[in-house]
Amino acid sequence: MEKNDLMEKIISLCKRRGFVFPGSEIYGGLANSWDYGPLGHLLKQNIKKAWWKFFVQERADMVPMDTAIIMNPRVWEASGHLQNFSDELTECKKCHHRFRADHLLEASRAEPGYDKESVPEKITDVPCPDCGGELMNAKQFNLMFKTFIGVTEDTSNVAYLRPETAGGMFINFKNIQQVTRRRLPFGIAQIGKNFRNEITPGNFIFRTREFEIGEFEYFIKPDAWEATFEMWLGEIKRWWQDVMQINMDNLVWHEIPEGERAHYSKRTVDIEYKYPFGVKELHGIAYRTDFDMKRHQEVSGQDLQYTDPETNEKYLPHVIEPTFGIDRMMLVMLLEAYHEEQAPTSVEGETDLRVVMRFPKHLAPIQVAVLPLSKKEELSAVAKPLAQELRKYLSVDYDETQAIGKRYRRQDEIGTPYCVTVDFDSLEDKKVTVRDRDTMQQERVSIEEVKEYLLNKFNT
C-alpha cells in the first residue's frame, strides 16, 4: 500500500465509522479542527487511561493534578512563552499563502537532487511550494492564543490559553510538596487540553491548534539527573513495547545535539515515528535543569526552594519532563492497527477484503459485540440481557441487522476483539459462539461462563 493511501484510508475509515469527524462540518468546516466521535472518544479515553495507569497509578513516586487552562499571564512571562514561543512565518508575494520558514528550509534541503552548493541559506532562496512565487523575509509569529478576562478588552485584561500543561505543575510545586509531604524524587502529572496558534497545522490530527498532552514534571536532586533520565527512557520504551504494543522499528530515538536544544536543556530526546508523511516527532523527554523553578521564583518573588529533610540543605529542584501528545499517540495507534487482508467469506472457497484494526485488546474502543443471528424475539430475549450484563464490565456493542458475515466485518473494521453470537442452538445448548478478531477462530462457550471467559481475555 502507498504510504499516502494509508493516511487517506485511515481518515476515511475514521469519518465513516465515527472515530474522527472534520470539525464544524455543517458550517463548511474549520480547517484542521477535528471532533472525536463515539469510537474516537473511546479509543482516546483508553489511551489516556492506559497512560495514567502506567505512568501515574502504578507508581509510588507520582501525584496527579489538574490545573487551569487560563492562568495569570505572568506564568507565561516567567516560562518565556510570551517572548520566545514563536515560529518563523513567511508569506508568498504572489499567492499570499503562509508557511513555516523552518519547515520549507528543511523540506528543500531534503530534496533528492540537492547538492551542497545550492543549499538554501535564507527562506527567500526557496520558491513558494504552491505557486513558485517569491517568498518574503520570515518574521516571528507568537503561537500563544490570546483572550480577555472580563468585560473590557484592553491590555490589562489580556490572558492566554495555555500552550502546555507544564506551567500549572511548576507553579504548584510548593503546594503539592507541602500537602503530600513528598521527598525528592517525585513527579506531578496531568493530562489536559492545550492551544497553539500553529501557522501550518495539518496531517489529520498530527498538528492541530487544540490538542491534548499527558506530561509530568519529575522533580529531582541536581546530581541525580543522568540516572533519572535513563530510568525514564527505559520506562518510555516499556510503554511503547508492552502497553501500546507497537512495532518498535517504527520509532526513531533522536538525541537532540547541543546547539539545537532549548538553551536551558542539558539533554533532550525526541521520540519520532515513521509516519506515512515522514519521520516526525511523536513526543519527547527533556532535562530542563532548574530553569523553570528559578524563573518562577524570580518572577513571583516567592521562595520555591525545597529543604532536604536529611541535610537541611535548601535548593531549587531540577526537573526531567517526559511529554506525550495524546492525539499523536492516537494517530500512531490508528496507523499501527490498520491491516488489510484477503479472508474467507461464509461462501465456501470465496474470499473478500477484510479491513481489520488490530488494536491491542485493552485499547479497543468496543471490546465485545453481541450479535444475535437474527432479529427474532427468542434470540434477542437471550442476547439483550447478556449484552446488558457484559456492559457492567466491558464496552459492548449490540447489532442485529444484516448478515452475520457482514456484521463480523463491521466489527473487524473498528477493531472489536470478540464477537459473541447467539443462534438458535443457543436456545437448546445454552451456549454462544465467541469469535476472535485476529484468528477468526470460533469457540462455543456456555452463557453462564461467557462473562468470566471474556473478562479473563481482558485480564480485568
Contact stretch for ligand GAP (CB under 6 A) within 12-20, 325-333, 347-355, 418-426: 325-333
Site string for ligand GAP, 283-322 (x = CB under 6 A): xx------------------------------------x-
Paired strand residues for 44: none
Closest contact distance (angstroms) between CB of 35 and ligand GAP is: 15
Cis ω for the linkage preceding 257 (within 30 of 0): no
AA letter at 390: L
Instruction: Determine the 3-state secondary structure of 26 from DSSP.
Output: helix
DSSP state of 266: S
Q: List the one residue from 87, 292, 327, 423 that touches ligand GAP (CB under 6 A).
A: 327
For ligand GAP, the closer CB: 170 or 398: 170
Contacts with ligand GAP in 188-227 (CB under 6 A)? 196, 198, 207-208, 211, 213, 215
For strands 62-64 and 186-195, give the pairing: parallel
Instruction: Quickly list DSSP for 363-420.
Output: G-S--EEEEESSS-HHHHHHHHHHHHHHHTTS-EEE--SS-HHHHHHHHHHTT-SEEE
Determine if 323 is a binding residue for ligand GAP (CB under 6 A).
yes
Contact of 74 with 165, CB cutoff 8 Å: no
CA distance to 35, 152, 314, 327, 363, per residue, from 9 (Å)? 18, 47, 56, 18, 20
The rounded distance, in Å, linking the Cα atoms of 293 and 70 is 20
For ligand GAP, the closer CB: 70 or 149: 70
For ligand GAP, the closer CB: 19 or 418: 19
CA distance to 66, 104, 138, 143, 217, per residue, from 100 (Å)? 32, 7, 9, 12, 29
Closest contact distance (angstroms) between CB of 103 and ligand GAP is: 13
Instruction: Determine the 3-state secondary structure of 29 from DSSP.
Output: coil
Q: List the one residue from 10, 20, 166, 404 that touches ligand GAP (CB under 6 A).
A: 166
Q: List the one residue from 295, 328, 410, 437 that touches ligand GAP (CB under 6 A).
A: 328
Closest residue to ligand GAP in the complex (CB): 325
Closest contact distance (angstroms) between CB of 325 and ligand GAP is: 2
For ligand GAP, the closer CB: 198 or 400: 198
Closest contact distance (angstroms) between CB of 329 and ligand GAP is: 8
The rounded distance, in Å, linking the Cα atoms of 435 and 421 is 8
Closest contact distance (angstroms) between CB of 44 and ligand GAP is: 13
For strands 418-422 and 431-436, give the pairing: antiparallel
How many of the chain's residues bind ligand GAP (CB under 6 A)?
Answer: 17
Contacts with ligand GAP in 253-282 (CB under 6 A)? 281
Other beta carbons within 10 Å of 427: 13
For ligand GAP, the closer CB: 198 or 413: 198
* 217: its cell numbers: 514534571
For ligand GAP, the closer CB: 245 or 265: 265
Nearest to 93 by CA among 139, 127, 119, 140: 127
For ligand GAP, the closer CB: 216 or 418: 216
Instruction: Determine the 3-state secondary structure of 9 from DSSP.
Output: helix
The rounded distance, in Å, linking the Cα atoms of 200 and 359 is 30
For ligand GAP, the closer CB: 215 or 397: 215
Closest contact distance (angstroms) between CB of 55 and ligand GAP is: 14
Q: List the one residue from 7, 34, 101, 164 that touches ligand GAP (CB under 6 A).
A: 164
For ligand GAP, the closer CB: 293 or 422: 293
Closest contact distance (angstroms) between CB of 369 and ligand GAP is: 31
For ligand GAP, the closer CB: 176 or 373: 176
Closest contact distance (angstroms) between CB of 377 and ligand GAP is: 49
Q: List the one residue from 325, 360, 365, 417 that touches ligand GAP (CB under 6 A).
A: 325
Closest contact distance (angstroms) between CB of 163 and ligand GAP is: 7
Closest contact distance (angstroms) between CB of 291 and ligand GAP is: 12
AA letter at 209: R
Closest contact distance (angstroms) between CB of 217 and ligand GAP is: 9
Which letter, b or e, does each residue of 366-386 get, where b requires 16 or more Cβ atoms within 10 Å of its Cβ? bbbbbbbbeeeeebbebbeeb
Closest contact distance (angstroms) between CB of 264 and ligand GAP is: 12
The three-state (H, E, C) secondary structure of 69-88, written as one string? CECCCHHHHHHCHHHHCEEE
Nearest to 361 by CA among 436, 434, 310, 299: 436
**Interface positions with ligand GAP (CB under 6 A):** 164, 166, 196, 198, 207-208, 211, 213, 215, 281, 283-284, 321, 323, 325, 327-328
